[in-house]
Structure 1
């Protein structure tokens, strides 16, 4: 329990920081790729879709799972707070409130990672839809 008490913030916030770093790196890579891709170089719609949607699943997964990582940190923080109170034998309101407030920062951090990830994912998905429509329009015009 002492290990968890001493390292909980580092574990949860470190995990969320890593998730955020990975998400931002993939978002930048996707935006750069989608801005320079030439849809005319693809002969088949499915190969285009595979290329355009690469790494979007990871971005979406980070966005959907970051709140759970934060919630896990909050639950463990509350557990540590109650354990520490039980060990001390005294119940002091300010100790409880401080422990709970510190535990809730993990949930807030999880949301701070998740919200931009989902916004970026939706923006990238829209760009994929537009590029796919451009390919279809180009293919229809080429065949006519």
Structure 2
């Protein structure tokens, strides 16, 4: 059974595109773990992706999007807990292949939660005016630069 594409409100499309980059990142870690790639190369890539993509993405969601919901939602709490859990994993010094596996598994789970459940809640809860305000805040997708040392291939 396949999951049909979800019609995403234009205010959330940049976040969804960033999620796509996050899934590519997770897949690269998965391939690196499978081939037992050099841990230092994986660490450099993970640190770069965390600092330049995931952390700003999480901050934007937590500081600008989630507060617009104005209420207690379990899905929002779950997403924030996953953000915190990922932060802890990224802060591990001298990560092992098992640590990278935990990172990519949790990131994949997190992106599925947001794309399949939380964003649907946001689209059905926020008004068009609120979504337009958020769209102005997040005008463009953060692009993901090409990594010069592909350990995953």
TM-score by length of 1: 0.38
Structure scoring higher RCO (CA < 8 A, sep ≥ 6) equals 2
Task: Please identify the structure whose Cα radius of gyration is greater.
Answer: 1
Q: Which structure carries more helix by proportion?
A: 1
TM-score by length of 2: 0.36
